[in-house]
Amino acid sequence: MKVLLDVDRKHEETSVTIHCREMDDSIKGILDFLKEKETEFIIGKKGEEQHILKPNEVHFFHSESDEVHATTSEGSYKVKEKLYELEEKLSSTTFIRLSKSVIANLYEIHHFEPSFHGTLVVHFKSGQKEYASRHYVGKIKEVLKLNRRDS
């Protein structure tokens, strides 16, 4: 991989361009790193108070009705972003979609357990649990490399 750096005061803002033949894990890692730097915090509302939440402190995001909540070890906070917006902003190597209504922090997951009809029960370190829908199980296994065969 060739890296070019152009430092010049005439540039009004920093921009990153990646030229590649195909998207691979190293490119995804670079993009995720840049996303993480861009999203340093998320504002969560609890009652009338607004809290600064660091993405790595969030166990999972889930939607209920028309609201999205971030669950941390300190409790649940209402956030203004929609799940698809969070999915775009957050690192895909840290956060993964479990269902239409849940995005989870991989580093806060304790273990998985098979459930009915090909779904998974996802147990978090906090003791809470959510369900991964059948539609997303393949992607979860791919990310976690669960479907690799041991020799």
Q: DSSP letters of 23-82?
A: --HHHHHHHHHHHHHH---EEEEETTEEEEE-GGGEEEEEEETTEEEEEETTEEEEESS-
Q: Give which of 46, 144, 133, 145 is closest to 97, Cα–Cα.
A: 133
> In b/e form, how buried is each residue of 23-48, taking b as 16+ CB within 10 angstroms?
eeeeeeeebbeebbeebeebebeeee
What pTM was estimated for this model as a whole? 0.72
Residues 86, 101: contact at Cβ < 8 Å? no
CA 109/CA 96 separation, integer angstroms: 11
Read off the tokens for 20: 């590649």
Q: What is the pLDDT of residue 151?
A: 47
Mean pLDDT over each residue of the chain, to the nearest integer: 85
For 22, the 3-state DSSP assignment is: coil
- State yes or no: pLDDT of 28 exceeds 90: no
Residues 78, 69: contact at Cβ < 8 Å? yes
Q: What is the pLDDT of residue 78?
A: 97
C-alpha distance across the termini of the chain, in Å: 32
Name the pLDDT band for 146 (thresholds 50, 70, 90): low
